[in-house]
Structure formats: C-alpha cells, structure tokens
Structure 1
Amino acid sequence: MSNGFLHKLFDWKNFELFVKDFYSAEGDVLVEHDVTEIGKSGASRQIDVKVTQKTTLHTYTTIIECKYWKKAIERTTVDVVAASIEDLNASKGVIFTTKGYQQGAEAYAKSKNIDIFVVRDLLDKDWGSPGRNMQLYLNIVGGQMSKAHFPNAQALLIVEEKPDDMNLEISLSQENLDDEAFLLYSVKNGDAGPNLTKILSKIHNTITQNINSIVGQKNEFLDHELLVKSDVKVSFSDFDFRQLRNKFAAINLSEMTLNFVTHISRSELNIDRAGSLDYALIVQNYVSEQAHYVSRKSDSEEILVSAYKNETSTPDGASDVFVNGSTVNCFLGPWVGVDINANTRIGESSPMRLRVMEAENSLGFNIVPADG
C-alpha cells in the first residue's frame, strides 16, 4: 500500500489541474487549462496548460504537455511539443509526467530547449529523519519538595532578645527566585553569593533528571503516571556560601533534608507529518535534477512551493539525530505542583545525597551514595 499522495489524488485530468495550480502559485501570470488554438499551419493544437506572462514590451508564452502515464515518455511526445512551439510561436515548451523519460526523449528535449519534469511522491529521505511517520515517547517530568529541614544549623544572634522561633518558610515560584530574604553569604569573608531559592530550583532539576534517567525509559509505565518518593540530604559542607541572614541572626547551614516526589507521565505519540495535507509531492527537473516541494493543506486552497534540500547527511557536530522510538523529555518548573489520579503508580527510590559545589564560578551538585 502506498504511503504517498500521487495514486490517491490524480487521474490524467487532475494531474493537468495540479500542474495548472502549480504555475498559478507563481502569481502574476495567466494560467489556462485545456486550450485549443490554431497554428500558423492551420492545424488545431490542443494545449493541456498554457501560461502567459505579459510585460510592457513582451508576451512570454509557455505551452505544457501533461502525461499521467504508466510508462516513460518517448521521443515522439517531445516531437509533438516541439512542433507545437514552432506552430504557435510559443516561447517555451514543458512536459510533465509521473514515470520518467526514455534516453532518446531526454536528449531530444535538451536539444530543443524543452524542460522535462517528473512529479513524484516524497521518499523517507525527502521528509527528513525519521521519515513521514513519527513515533516517539513523551515524558512530562515534574517534582515537588516538602518538609525541608536544616539540622545542625548554627544561629549567631545579633539581637539581645531571643526570638521564639526562626523557622524558614520557602515557597518556590517564578517571582521569588531572587528574594533577598534568602540570599546566602560566605562564611569566610561575608561576600554575597547565590540565592537559596535558586539552589532549591537547581536541586529540583537535578533530582527530576536523575530519577527520569533511571525509570523514565521504561515502557512498563506507558500511559500511567509514576510517582517516585525520595528522601534527600543536601550537604553545604563544601560550599562557602552557606550563611543566611535575617533581623535576628546570621545562620550557618551545614545540611538540608527534604522529602521529594518526582512525577513522570509517559505517553506514546504517533504523528503523520502529512496528516493535515491534501498532498505533498516533489516536482523534479529530469535533466538538471533541480527539485521543489509542492504541498497544500487540507483547509486551504493555497499551494506552497519551496526549494528541495537534500539533507541525507548528518551536520557536523550533530550528536543526537532524532529517530523513531526516541524519548522527548519535558521538565516542569519547581513551582508546578504534583497531582495524583487513579492511574498513578507509586514507588520509592534509594535515599539520595547531594553536595553543593562551586566549580568555575558556577553552582553545581554532586550526587553521591546516600551513605557517602
């Protein structure tokens, strides 16, 4: 069964109308279908498609022969077009077919300056990797942290009256990633450093990517929602910027513990890249091999024409070429909550330990064994 459009859309008449519409897409030209004219010889000449372009000083006429045949075009067909050009004083002759040309016809057309074209379906290589039909998996990955504690934190009071408590309440949102109340300072020299909310945001990203790399590729979770619960310890011991300040005290942090839930929704997507099209074809010059994509959307009368680019090789430096069966990961921000429904499957990961690191002036994390 064909995966293309040519056999579905065209008989000989519709093939002629396709060629007519193809030329009409050029714009400022008069394109006529099934025209009969009397030549200089007095003979009646039938023209499948006639294209007329007028300028201030000249009229340029192209006559086009369309052959929706099951065999290659012979020289005799080219001879008929050549005779029509001469008899009708046409400027140019063109032939369109779907099956190619015999060698003699090709050589004769070149000698008479007649352009010959083949209209064909797109091959997989023409659609570009991975072809017309795409099959991929989509992972939507989110996470939620809760019950954050800072054990062994040391508060250095800067006021005489000791406050009843100094609990930290942090709510991550797109708006508070620069909240000055959570700015961290160096325990060595007091310099200002990164914001604790940004560290939490990066921790969120690190954990969700880590859990997704472990279980996100498993198709046993396909069309289910997976929740993975993790107990996480974050060490600040190797990080200079671990001091919070408020109106009561300077608070030196050593570690943080939190509960984390990673949410993964895995689904399969099958996409026909031509599903919204009436047709998608290639019009190729049989001699020069110059080609164009020609397509039309189902909800439009507009024909789209673009130059064909043969991109069969992998660009230099490209390491991840998309192939069918690939997984596309979409990671949600830390401010997006986690929902649980009837199809949710719940599991638990091993305890996780992260160390906050400063490397080349950028903040990072090192995941180590939970007992490390």
Structure 2
Amino acid sequence: MQLSHLVKDWGGFEQLVAELNRTGEVSVEHNVVLPGRSGAPRQIDVLIRHKQGLYEHLIVAECKFWNKAVDRATVDSMATTVREVGASRGVIFSNNGFQSGAVTQAKADSIDLFLVRDLTNDEWGAPGKIIDFFLHVISISIGGFSTERTFSLPGSQPTSTRMDLRLGNAETNSSTPITWPGRSFKTLEEGIEHAAKDAAQKVYQPAAFSADGKFDATLRARVTVNLAPPKPIVAKINDGTIFIPSATLHIGISINQSRMIFDRAKNLAFALAVEDCVRNTVTAAARSVGEETTMLNQLNAPQHVSGNDKPLENGTIFSVWVAGFQNFDEFAGLNPGEVKIAPAAS
C-alpha cells in the first residue's frame, strides 16, 4: 500500500497518476502526443479531458518520478506546453516535492503542483492505517462465604447458625435480612454480591497479557476478600439474630482477551495523499479492489481533542463486564491468590 511498493519506476508513476485521475467524471489517456501551435509535437504524460456541456477542457499533466524536488525550469516548460497545445490547465505530479522557486512560478503561471505521498496516520484518522486494540470480557464467580467470630445475644439465638446461601442468580437467590452499618443492603446476598463486584473491579488491571506468545487468551484468578465492617453485620437467620464481625469471601475473575487488528487498506487497491503545494490542501485518493474509479476526498486539518473525546490509540483495552455471576467450578483447581493464563480455545 505504500507508494514505494506501488511504484518502482517513472513509467509506473505515470500509470499511477493516470489512475488517480480516473474518477469517472473525466477521460484519461496515458502517453499522448499532441501537435503544438509551433508545429512541434508535444509528448504528454497524462492527458485529462473534461467535457462540460458544449465544451471540452484539456488538462495536461507531467509526472516527475525524481530523487529531487522539481525546479522552476520545469514549471516554465509546463507553462509553454499549456500554451502550445491550447490546454485549459497544466499540472505537475511529483513524488519528491517542489522547490520554493517552482511554487512561486506555478502561482504566476496558474500551474498546479501535486505531491503524491503516503497518507499519514493523522490523515487516515486515529489511530492510523492499522487499528490494533484489545477486548476484555470479564466475568465474576462467587465461591465460598464463611463468617468469623459470630455471636448472638441472649434470647435471640437462632435455632441453627448454618446459613443456606444461594447466590449469583436473581431468580433463585436466597434472601437473608440484614442490617449492614453504613450501607443500604437489605439482604446478606445483596451485600456479598456487591462486595464481589467491588473487589473484582479493584483487582482488575486493564493490561494486555499473552499465553504461549498468543494474545487471544484467558486469564483466571482466584481472590480472597476479607469483609470487616466498622460494626458487625446483623443478620436474621433461623428465627434468630446473629452478629457478624468479619467474613471471608472467595471469588473467581475470568478475563477473556481478544486482540482486534484491522487494516483499513485491506480492501483498497491504493490509498494515497495528493498534496496541493500551491493551495496547501490535501486530498485522499483511494480505490477499492475490483473498482475502476478513484474516490477523492479532501482532508481537513487534524482536530485537537481533549478529555473524554480522545481518539482511539493502538494498544487500547476495552473492558466489558458480564452481568450476573458465573459458575465457580472452573476456579476449584486454583489456590487463593493464584493466577492462570491459557491460550483461548480455538
């Protein structure tokens, strides 16, 4: 897709310039000889005919595939060619730019000067020709929950201190009424699920990882969460009341990572910048594979953005949290605090 890959010599550059001008609105001819008014033939690299109403306009283009910038004398020569063949316009295309004297002369003679070059990343649009980012799909699992140092007051002891907690499914969750000092939770189940989500979000680090050199991978971590509110949680269970000064919760965090790479030029035969060195504007010229016409789109100066409107950068990680809770069985083989990374299943 780079200009150096598309063009190897002068003839190839002429062919490319001809294709850049095939927009469907004009006819384009390559390597044409026209008679000059003085009687001498004039060789034209690319001849563009634009018919509008009853009139036909001729535009003659020279293609300079040089290892140096085009000079003033070349612009003088083009101005002579325009007069000799009676063209409406003269254009010089270069792969290496123009000297300042050439630009000054072109303005005086109404000659267009176009530099054909690769598009910059800013001109492609952030983050550039290649878009490369990561997607993290994160799910949480709840394992064991155990209370510590629970007690009851005389006359409010439950018939059993065993709690049958069912978590992770709003439709089948158990419901254990509580008072959690400083929090608005109505049930112990609600408090545990909130604690699991809060801990997972604190543990999660939006950083890319790999397994066996592959970025499409899954990370699993088993985490122990210690709950120690300033005052004991008061829970109603089994026809009584217990006080829970502290508890331990085991959670599992699963991160399914996918690397997303997109080449914006994948379906393009070419995409180049055509820089107008007289008017200081830039036009993107692109053609899709299999098409016969070139699309032209004038580019605006890059816009400065800030705050939350910053453009996408390569390497960015997008995090998506799965609603609800997953089965804890896949974490049974992990020890508390252990992390395991494995390639994603193909």
> What is the TM-score normalised by the length of structure 2?
0.67
Shift of 1:279: 3.4
Separation in 2 of the partners of 1:196 and 1:7?
67
Counterparts of residues 157-236 of structure 1 (less than 5 Å): 172=169, 205-213=197-205, 216=207, 223=214, 225-232=218-225
Q: Is this contact kept in 2: 1:296–1:303, CA < 8 A? A: yes
Name the aligned partner's letter for residue 219 of structure 2. Answer: L
Name the aligned partner's letter for residue 223 of structure 2. Answer: S
* Corresponding position of 1:363: none
Separation in 2 of the partners of 1:288 and 1:120?
16
Separation in 1 of the partners of 2:82 and 2:305?
45
Q: SS at 1:24's partner residue?
A: coil
Separation in 2 of the partners of 1:24 and 1:205?
58
Determine if the alignment matches structure 1 residue 295 to structure 2 residue 286: yes
Unaligned runs of 5+ residues in structure 1 are: 153-165, 188-192, 351-372
* Corresponding position of 1:316: 306
Q: SS at 1:95's partner residue?
A: strand
Which stretch of the first structure deviates more once superposed, 31-40 or 196-205? 196-205
The partner residue of 1:9 within 3, 6, 10 is: 6
* Corresponding position of 1:74: 71
Q: Is this contact kept in 1: 2:273–2:282, CA < 8 A? A: yes
* Corresponding position of 2:25: 28
Which stretch of the first structure deviates more once superposed, 107-116 or 273-282? 273-282
* Corresponding position of 1:159: none
The change in CA–CA distance for 1:210 and 1:217 in structure 2 (over 3 A counts) is: farther
Q: Is this contact kept in 2: 1:281–1:294, CA < 8 A? A: yes
The change in CA–CA distance for 1:218 and 1:54 in structure 2 (over 3 A counts) is: closer
Shift of 1:145: 2.6
The partner residue of 1:348 within 331, 336, 344 is: 336
Q: Is this contact kept in 2: 1:280–1:294, CA < 8 A? A: yes
Counterparts of residues 1-372 of structure 1 (less than 5 Å): 5-10=2-7, 11-25=9-23, 27-127=24-124, 132=129, 139-146=136-143, 172=169, 205-213=197-205, 216=207, 223=214, 225-232=218-225, 259-265=250-256, 274=265, 277-297=268-288, 303-311=294-302, 314-318=304-308, 323=313, 326-335=315-324, 337=326, 346=334, 348-349=336-337
Q: Is this contact kept in 1: 2:129–2:263, CA < 8 A? A: yes
Separation in 2 of the partners of 1:331 and 1:92?
56
Shift of 1:133: 5.5
Unaligned runs of 5+ residues in structure 2 are: 151-162, 180-184, 339-346
Name the aligned partner's letter for residue 75 of structure 2. Answer: V
Q: SS at 2:204's partner residue?
A: helix
Q: Is this contact kept in 2: 1:227–1:264, CA < 8 A? A: yes
Separation in 1 of the partners of 2:167 and 2:92?
73
The change in CA–CA distance for 1:281 and 1:204 in structure 2 (over 3 A counts) is: farther
Q: Is this contact kept in 1: 2:47–2:59, CA < 8 A? A: yes
C-alpha deviations, 1:299-318, integer Å up to 9, x for none? 6555443222342x741335
Q: SS at 1:261's partner residue?
A: strand
Count of aligned pairs: 319
> What is the TM-score normalised by the length of structure 1?
0.63
> Could you say what the CA RMSD is over the residues aligned between the two structures, in angstroms?
5.0
Separation in 2 of the partners of 1:195 and 1:56?
80
The percent identity for this pair of structures is: 27
Separation in 2 of the partners of 1:339 and 1:185?
25
The change in CA–CA distance for 1:259 and 1:50 in structure 2 (over 3 A counts) is: same
